[in-house]
Amino acid sequence: MIAVALEGLRVELGGRPVLGPLDLEVERGSWTLLVGPSGSGKTTLLRAISGLVVPKAGRVVLDGQVASDGPRIRIPAERRSVGLVFQGGGAGLWPHMTVRSTLSFVLACRGVPRSRRAAIVADLVEMIELRGLEERRPGELSGGEAQRLALARALAHDPKILLLDEPLGPLDARLRGDLIERIRLVHERRGLTTLHVTHDPHEVIHLADRSVRLELGRIPTEAAT
C-alpha cells in the first residue's frame, strides 16, 4: 500500500521554482531517507506533504486521498494525519508553553475530549521519557529534551506519517544515538511511515528501507534506491 504519492509536484516560493516537477511513492510502514545538498528542496518537500506549503502544480495523495491538487487544498494541514518534527533543537516549540500544556493544546486542537487528555499526555511523556519535566518550558530544557518534546508534539497528532527534518542536527553523539533509538521504537510500535531528511545518512542508513536523493528540487534519474 502507498502512504504518500507525489504526482508531478511543483512548488514555487516567491515566484522562484524550488521543487519539482517530482514524482515519488512511499510505501506504508516504510522508513525513507531524503538526502541531498543544502537547498535541494528536502525541507520544502516535507512542508508540501504536511500542508504547510501550497504547491504550484501536481498532487499530494495521502493514504489514497488527494490532500493537495495544485494550489487547491483538499485536506488542510490540521486534518492531515501527519506529524512534523522541525529542523533544529526543538525548533518550532511554543516558548510560553510547558511540556504538559504543549501536548494538551495539540490534543485539544484534535478534538480529544478534556477527560482523555491527561492520560494521553502521560503516555506520551512516558514514551519519550520526559517524566518529571512536565512543567518546564522549552527554554528550561536541554537540547535533547527539547527535541524529545518536539517528537512528542508530533506524535500527539496521532499521525500515520512522521516527517523528520534533520532531527539529530543540534545534538551531540550520545544524544543523537538516544534519539535515533527512540524514533526507531516509535516507528515500529505505531507502524508509522517515516520520511527523514538528513545530511548524514550513515547515522540511520541501517534503519531505512530506502534512500531518495534530491538535487535542485528534483530526483535525478536512478537516484532513488
d(CA 170, CA 174) in angstroms, rounded, equals: 12
Q: Within 13 Å and on the Cβ side, how many CA atoms surround 134?
A: 13
Residues 6+ apart with CB under 8 A from 176: 168, 203
Cα distances (angstroms) measured from residue 4 to each of 62, 151, 172, 194 = 5, 20, 32, 10
Q: Is the pLDDT of residue 93 over 60?
A: yes
Give percent of the chain above pLDDT 90. Answer: 72
Mean pLDDT on 14-30: 95
57-62 β-sheet, strand order: 16-27, 2-13, 57-62, 65-69, 72-73
Q: Is the pLDDT of residue 17 over 60?
A: yes
- What pLDDT was estimated at residue 6? 98
Q: Is the pLDDT of residue 150 over 60?
A: yes
Closest-CA residue to 146 (of 167, 118, 117): 167
d(CA 187, CA 182) in angstroms, rounded, equals: 9
Mean pLDDT on 57-71: 97
Cα distances (angstroms) measured from residue 223 to each of 4, 39, 76, 213 = 18, 17, 31, 6
- What pLDDT was estimated at residue 30? 97
Q: Is the pLDDT of residue 50 over 70?
A: yes
In the chain, what are the domains? 1-81+160-225 (3.40.50.300), 90-158 (no CATH)
Q: Is the pLDDT of residue 89 over 70?
A: no
- What pLDDT was estimated at residue 222? 55
